[in-house]
């Protein structure tokens, strides 16, 4: 028995981690309750080590929960009380970490409010949502509207049948789940970025950008670390220009951070919502707090920082995030609140800057957005960063 196979066998304890299958893929015995197991991501050092690990798991009759070949990652369930020191120190293993759950940054109590003025209906003339107008995006449209810029919405999916959206491609990281948006959050985010400039509904910040729906969150708005890692790896491979990440969690993830650093190094602009933990939070969520990411707080229609918006060091800028009207599945529109709604304003603005000057680096785009932002009175840098973005001013300086 190989050394890695022995370590895995000892950890799995004869399959009590809930992964063991027979040769035709049927579970052997009763699967233990989830509370007695933990999902772990095993990152192997290279492709050879990855293939060897899969081979040893197969020899043990263990079916991984997930495989992410692009980052040499395998996800398995192990007994909650298992000691992972031997696996972590194995020569073929780069890292072992918990497969945590990330959550979307929308306020659950306000998620699916009724459609009403000033939110749009397909039966009414098109409106410019207040947030899109407040950042000055309409002043750019006579020159550019986004062109061929590729924006990935790493989220719950995006409705491919909404008449106010054009989705170029869908990629689903969640095995066995439908690729359409079962929640509505991703469709709402996409609408703020790129709802079409037509005669009905709403219009997004950059209405001609190319939207890519990267589904990593389920109908409840939750996604595993491994799903996000897979989505980021896909975005890098497929050369996205901007990635919108309207989600977060309190803990860091070394594997997610690694992919974010890779994306940044490739020139991809990464935008993330700061979190909805309010005035007493003291810190913003991961991955927004990474230096490679543009972290976005949420503002209100009266130009204050929203009471739900997380506070803390690392906020880059602020954007509208309260009472935001945008698209949802079912060819409809609704208002939502959250830093989730603020981030896509920044992603759309970044896309407009890139449409004007494709050579702009992520750091230069951050600088342009920060130096042209308007400070909101009465709020500190830990509340708002550099202030409310002004897309038109940033565009003129690009």
CA distance 149 to 208: 8
CA distance 82 to 32: 15
Q: What is the pLDDT of residue 322?
A: 94
Residue that the structure tokens 């759309």 belong to: 348
Give the CATH number of the domain where residue 69 resides: 3.30.70.80
Domain co-membership, 168 together with 268 = yes
Query: Which of these three, 99, 120, 135, is where a domain ends?
Result: 99
Domain co-membership, 63 together with 113 = no
Q: Which residues of 244-268 are buried (b: 16+ CB within 10 A; e: fewer)?
A: bbbbbbeeebebbebbbebbbeeeb
Q: Of 55-59, 109-113, 244-248, 271-275, give the lowest mean pLDDT range.
A: 109-113
Domain co-membership, 34 together with 123 = no
Q: What is the pLDDT of residue 46?
A: 97
Domain co-membership, 95 together with 111 = no
pLDDT band at 115; cut points 50, 70, 90 = very low
> Does the annotation count 48 as an active-site position?
no
Query: Which of these three, 46, 78, 99, is where a domain ends?
Result: 99
349-371 pLDDT per residue, tens: 999 999 999 999 999 999 999 99
Identify whether the C-beta of residue 292 lies closer than 8 Å to the C-beta of residue 261.
Answer: yes
Domain co-membership, 155 together with 269 = yes
Q: What is the pLDDT of residue 176?
A: 86
Domain co-membership, 114 together with 82 = no
Helices vs. strands in the chain: H and E counts, helices first: 11, 16
Domain co-membership, 65 together with 172 = no
Domain co-membership, 183 together with 117 = yes
CA distance 188 to 183: 10
Candidates 100, 105, 185, 188; catalytic one: 185
Q: What is the pLDDT of residue 389?
A: 98
Kindly state the tokens that stand for 199.
């005669």
Averaged pLDDT, 338-357: 98
Query: Which of these three, 59, 83, 99, is where a domain ends?
Result: 99
State percent of the chain over pLDDT 70. Answer: 91
> Does the annotation count 188 as an active-site position?
no
Domain co-membership, 373 together with 280 = yes
Q: What is the pLDDT of residue 213?
A: 98
Residue that the structure tokens 């690694």 belong to: 258
Domain co-membership, 151 together with 76 = no
- The total number of structural domains in the chain stands at 2
Q: What is the pLDDT of residue 338?
A: 96
Identify whether the C-beta of residue 99 lies closer than 8 Å to the C-beta of residue 41.
Answer: yes
Q: Is residue 29's pLDDT more than 60?
A: no
Mean pLDDT over all residues of the chain? 91
Candidates 72, 90, 105, 155; catalytic one: 155
Q: Is residue 110's pLDDT more than 50?
A: no
Identify whether the C-beta of residue 335 lies closer than 8 Å to the C-beta of residue 129.
Answer: no
Domain co-membership, 156 together with 94 = no
Q: Is residue 88's pLDDT more than 50?
A: yes
Domain co-membership, 70 together with 113 = no
> Does the annotation count 396 as an active-site position?
no
303 conformational bin, left if phi > 0, alpha if psi -120 to 50, beta if neither: left
More confident residue, 118 or 179: 179
Kindly state the tokens that stand for 291.
């230096």
Full domain range(s) for residue 108 = 104-397
Candidates 246, 309, 326, 340; catalytic one: 340
CA distance 216 to 145: 27
Kindly state the tokens that stand for 293.
């990411």
Give the CATH number of the domain where residue 371 resides: 3.40.50.200
Q: What is the pLDDT of residue 159?
A: 97
């Amino acid at each position: 028995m190989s050394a890695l196979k022995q370590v895995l066998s000892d950890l799995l304890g004869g399959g009590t981690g809930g992964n063991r299958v027979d040769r035709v893929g049927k579970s052997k015995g009763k699967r233990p309750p989830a509370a007695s197991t933990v999902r772990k991501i095993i990152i192997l050092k290279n492709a050879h080590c990855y293939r060897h690990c899969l081979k040893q798991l197969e020899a043990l009759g263990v079916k991984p929960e997930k495989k992410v070949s692009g980052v040499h990652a395998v996800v398995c369930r192990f007994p909650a009380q298992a000691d992972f020191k031997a696996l972590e120190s194995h020569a073929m293993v780069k890292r072992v970490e918990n497969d945590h759950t990330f959550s979307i940054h929308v306020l659950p109590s306000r998620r699916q409010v009724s459609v009403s003025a000033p939110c749009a209906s397909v039966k009414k003339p098109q409106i410019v949502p207040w947030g899109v107008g407040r950042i000055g995006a309409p002043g750019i449209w006579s020159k550019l509207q986004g062109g061929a810029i590729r924006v990935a919405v790493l989220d719950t999916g995006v409705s491919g049948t909404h008449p106010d959206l054009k989705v170029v491609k869908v990629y689903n990281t969640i095995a066995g789940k439908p690729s359409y948006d079962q929640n509505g959050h991703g469709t709402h985010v996409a609408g703020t970025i790129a709802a079409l400039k037509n005669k009905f509904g709403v219009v997004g910040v950059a209405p001609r950008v190319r939207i890519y729906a990267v589904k990593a969150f389920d109908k409840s708005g939750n996604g595993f670390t491994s799903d996000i890692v897979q989505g980021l790896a896909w975005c890098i491979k497929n050369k996205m220009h901007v990635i919108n990440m309207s989600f977060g969690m309190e803990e860091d993830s070394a594997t997610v951070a690694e992919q974010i650093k890779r994306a940044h190094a490739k020139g991809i602009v990464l935008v993330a919502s700061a979190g909805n933990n309010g005035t007493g939070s003291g810190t913003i969520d991961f991955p927004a707090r990474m230096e490679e990411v543009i972290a976005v707080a949420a503002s209100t229609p009266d130009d204050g920082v929203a009471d739900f918006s997380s506070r803390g060091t690392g906020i880059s800028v602020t954007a509208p995030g309260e009472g935001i009207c945008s698209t949802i599945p079912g060819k409809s529109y609704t208002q939502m609140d959250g830093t989730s709604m603020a981030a896509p304003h920044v992603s759309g603005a970044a896309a407009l800057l890139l449409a004007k000057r494709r050579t702009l680096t992520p750091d230069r785009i951050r600088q342009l957005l920060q130096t042209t932002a308007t400070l909101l009175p009465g709020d500190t840098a830990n509340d708002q960063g550099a202030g409310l973005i002004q897309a038109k001013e940033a565009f003129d300086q690009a």
